[in-house]
Amino acid sequence: MDSVLLPHGVKRCSPWAFFFWTLPWLGLMAWGGLSAFLCLWKGLNQTNMSNVFAFALWIVFDLAVIALGAGAFFTGFLTYIIGKKELKNIINTAVIVGFICYSGAMAMLGIDIGQPIRGWFIFWHANIHSMLVEVSFCITCYLMVLAIEFIPIILENRKLEEIKELRLFGHNLHEIMAVFAATGTFLSFFHQGSLGGMFGVMYARPFAAREGFYIWPWTFFLFVLSAVACGPCFTILCTKLTEFLTRKKLVPDSAIQLLAKISAWLLSLYIVLKIFDYLAWIYGVVPRAGLTFESFFREGPYGIWLVVCEMVFCGILPAIILMTPQARKNQGWLIVACLLTCIGIVLNRFLFIIVTLAIPVMPFDRFWGYLPTWQEWGIGLAVVGYGFLVFSLAYRYLPVFPKERELNPVAGS
Amino acid sequence: MKKENDHGKPGHKYGMVINLDKCTGCGTCMVACAAENNVSVRPDQSDKERVITWMRLYRITNGKEFPDTEVSYFPRPCMHCDHHPPCVSVCVATATKLDFHTGIVSQIYTRCIGCRYCQAACPYGARYFNWWDAYFPKGKGLDRYLSPEVSPRMRGVVEKCTFCHHRLMRAKSQAYAEDRREIEEDQYQTACTEACPAGAITFGDLNNPEHQVSKLTKHPFTFRLLERIGTEPKVYYQSSRDWVRKLGDNFLPGEYQPVVNKTWMKEEWSTKPGRDTF
């Protein structure tokens, strides 16, 4: 039915099989659509957010997907600026995953603000002292860059490529991709950082507050580093999941191993610096506020175990696995390590958002807990559904993996 | 804050002193504040995480068993933090500002986009988000209390105590009409100050040595809420009870210095310049 749209020389499932595959993801998106409609129509009272949990599940999702999507800018940087040619085999995946993550996060943010129609005030009445302004500017610009990076991949579709003008346009865009890779790197550096800065500058919230360098709290640099460490891991996971579902080898091991190795070094550096950050915070910021590390976890559902999981099981452990060449080369260990790294970074964002708000600062106030409503889950999971859908469409109709044909020769092609 | 205004005179710095020993916890300040400022209500006001209470009353205890239990009430308006309020610098759309001429931290409702970053940054929980459309049930009298001087807030924006800023505007207009340049202490008072039946709240210009508040802040029993995190609140509290003062901030073991041998009698503390020396 759609065979004329499929890339040359590759095997794809039947249109019906593909249709049934998309149904759960369309279902998630429908759930999200209904939730979004209710939130826009009736207001944010549809959520379980409150004056205590001003930031909640959606912001955790936002920060998580933006960190996980960092593979796009970092792989682009390594491919086009540093010149790691073998990464050209995985750059398309990184770009598409990045685009999904950033566009999903932007859509979620649009519903998260109380007055979505006033969203443009961020740019019109911008408060240059606010880290969130830096985040908004950089993410908006970077989403445009990602769209520009995505266009040449779309234009490589078999049917679109037949149109000469589009083919030329796509080719020329491809030629100047290094410029966009550099722009993306610059923008991403600042928005990943300012997302961390957002929490570090909350000096009246001792759980999040950090000292820093000039106007940037240490969280600024740690968020950049953690994002570039986990972004490639998420790109690897997406590739491995696609390989598992399609039962094909799609990316040569050299590209995966190079990304994993780079991620290992960055993760190790991040963990070392994060340990120093924790120590400086525990012995600096916290006692100055008259508190102790344990006092943050005196009551409530969130305990020290979260920090232990973040640092040991999802930090040091995957760093050791990825640093060990034998373990890294083992498919199972590689996937476990990448998964743990991604969980660790999501945990880190969770701690900075939810736990920061759950802990009272006034001594006579109480600890708070929070559980999202189905509308909040709906919008969060819609991004997951959207991601699966876009990536599936891209895989089916676009030559996402340049080596697919070479690694999986189809008889008669 | 700038020491001087455009006319070369010391700028105003409006602030409040709340005497917790006088506070009976009656809640009149909360009611007066809500009525004065058109604060929206909910059909169920028991949802304390989502209702709006610009002035919120906390009940605190010394944590001891009967018969040693002691209770105090702790009214908490916006602290109108000085110099670098945690909420002002984070606001994306410049919808909240510290007025250098009055010291009041304002909120521009029509500019707020409802991102709630200011709420996350405020350690006092003094900022409230409008989770619902404004609601004033008809036939119960609330709609008749609505003040034309205060704009009601729409759904999806953050609001907070403004130190009854409209009263300052009113006092200024009055002074202008009477060809006066200065506002007297009694001409600008917040609704909670006026309403408190125990006279526990004192309001005025902290920069004016003649105003009662600037004298009260020098009392050794005076403290500020979460002073050590550096927010510099313009709301001060007073209590003769050590356990109450201790609950005003976080202290590591051995850090808290009790105030000893002091009473409310003025002659026993007036020789001391300020609480920092105690």
Q: DSSP for A167-206?
A: HHHHHHHHHTHHHHHHHHHHHHHHHHHHHHHHHHT-TT-T
Nearest-by-CA chain A residue for B53: A51
Nearest CA to B102 among B13, B176, B17? B13
Pick the CATH number of A49-359 from 1.10.155, 1.20.1630, 1.10.3470, 3.30.360: 1.20.1630
- List chain A domain ranges: 49-359
- Among B93, B123, B131, whose Cβ lies nearest the Cβ of A362? B123
Q: pLDDT digit of tens for each residue in chain A (413 aa)?
A: 788 888 888 889 999 999 999 999 999 999 999 999 999 999 999 999 999 999 999 999 999 999 999 999 999 999 988 989 889 999 999 999 999 999 999 999 999 999 999 999 999 999 999 999 999 999 999 999 999 999 999 998 888 988 999 989 988 888 888 898 899 989 988 889 999 999 999 999 999 999 998 889 999 999 999 999 999 999 999 999 999 999 999 999 999 999 999 999 999 999 999 999 999 999 999 999 999 999 998 887 888 999 999 999 999 999 999 999 999 999 999 999 999 999 999 999 999 999 999 999 999 998 888 899 999 999 999 999 999 999 999 999 999 998 888 888 876 54
Q: What is the pLDDT of residue A298?
A: 83
- Among A50, A115, A129, whose Cβ lies nearest the Cβ of B156? A115
Distance CA B106, CA B85 (A): 11
Cβ within 8 Å, pair B123-A361: yes
Best to test chain A binding among B59, B83, B90, B97 (most A CBs inside 10 Å): B90
| Radius of gyration, CA atoms only, chain B | 19
Backbone phi, then psi, for B127, in 5-degree steps?
-110, 140
- Please name the residue ranges forming H helices in chain B: 28-36, 117-121, 165-177, 191-195, 212-216, 242-246
User: Which amino acid type is present at position B78?
Assistant: C
- Among A205, A288, A365, whose Cβ lies nearest the Cβ of B121? A205
β-bridge pairing B105-107 and B127-129: unpaired
At B8, list the tokens.
Answer: 């070369």
Cβ within 8 Å, pair B157-A131: no
Q: Which of residues 137 through 196 in chain A touch B, CB cutoff 8 A?
A: none
Q: How many Cβ atoms from other residues are within 10 Å of residue B254's Cβ? A: 6
Distance CA B77, CA B112 (A): 20
Closest approach of B245 to chain A, Cα-based (Å) = 11
Q: What is the pLDDT of residue B8?
A: 52
* Domains detected in chain B: 14-277 (3.30.70.20)
Q: pLDDT digit of tens for each residue in chain B (278 aa)?
A: 444 445 555 589 999 999 999 999 999 999 999 999 999 999 888 888 899 999 999 999 999 999 999 999 999 999 999 999 999 999 999 999 999 999 999 999 999 999 999 999 999 999 999 999 999 888 888 888 899 999 999 999 999 999 999 999 999 999 999 999 889 999 999 999 999 999 999 999 999 999 999 999 998 899 999 999 999 999 999 999 999 999 999 999 999 988 877 777 655 444 444 444 33
Helix (H, G, I), strand (E, B) or coil at A150: helix
- Does A291 lie at the interface with B, CB-CB under 8 angstroms? yes
Distance CA A120, CA A112 (A): 14
Residues of chain B contacting residue A356, judged by C-beta atoms under 8 Å apart:
120
Strand partners, A212: A217
Nearest CA to A182 among A284, A255, A271, A79? A79
Distance CA A265, CA A268 (A): 5
Instruction: Note whether B129 and B157 are within 8 A (CB).
Output: yes
Helix (H, G, I), strand (E, B) or coil at A75: helix
Best to test chain A binding among B80, B110, B116, B244 (most A CBs inside 10 Å): B116
Strand partners, B59: B73
First to last CA, chain A: 19
Give me the torsion for CA of B42, B47, B49, B55, rounded to 10°: 60
Q: Which residue has the tokens 């600008």?
A: B188
- Does A130 lie at the interface with B, CB-CB under 8 angstroms? yes
**Residue B180 backbone zone (phi > 0: left; psi -120 to 50: alpha; other: beta):** beta
At B14, list the tokens.
Answer: 């409006």
Cβ within 8 Å, pair B113-A290: no
DSSP A4: G
DSSP per-residue string spanning B51-98: S--SSEEEEEE--PPTTS--EEEEEE------SS-TTTTT-TTS-EEE
Cβ within 8 Å, pair A43-B132: yes
At A111, list the tokens.
Answer: 């519903």
Nearest CA to B122 among A202, A50, A201, A114? A202
Strand partners, A91: none
Distance CA A274, CA A284 (A): 15
Cβ within 8 Å, pair A202-B94: no
Burial classification of residue A220, based on how many CB atoms lie within 10 Å of its CB (0-12 exposed, 13-18 middle, 19 or more buried): buried
Nearest CA to A339 among A316, A309, A324, A318? A318
DSSP A355: I
Reported as type and span, the H/E element at residue A381 is: helix A374-397
DSSP A130: -
Q: What is the pLDDT of residue B275?
A: 42
Q: Which residue has the tokens 């979505």?
A: A116
Q: pTM of the full predicted structure?
A: 0.92
Distance CA B77, CA B68 (A): 29
Strand partners, B158: B129
Distance CA B230, CA B83 (A): 10
Q: What is the pLDDT of residue B3?
A: 46
Q: How many Cβ atoms from other residues are within 10 Å of residue B169's Cβ? A: 12
User: Which amino acid type is present at position B68?
Assistant: D
DSSP A156: T
Distance CA A202, CA B91 (A): 12
Nearest CA to B106 among B154, B36, B33, B162? B162
CA-to-CA dists, residue B92 to A121, A221, A379, B112, angstroms: 8, 21, 23, 9
Instruction: Note whether B113 and A113 are within 8 A (CB).
Output: yes
- What is the predicted ipTM? 0.93
Nearest-by-CA chain A residue for B108: A125
Instruction: Note whether A110 and A116 are within 8 A (CB).
Output: yes
At A257, list the tokens.
Answer: 């191993």
Residues of chain A contacting residue B124, judged by C-beta atoms under 8 Å apart:
361-362
Count of alpha carbons within 13 angstroms of residue A403, beta-carbon side: 18
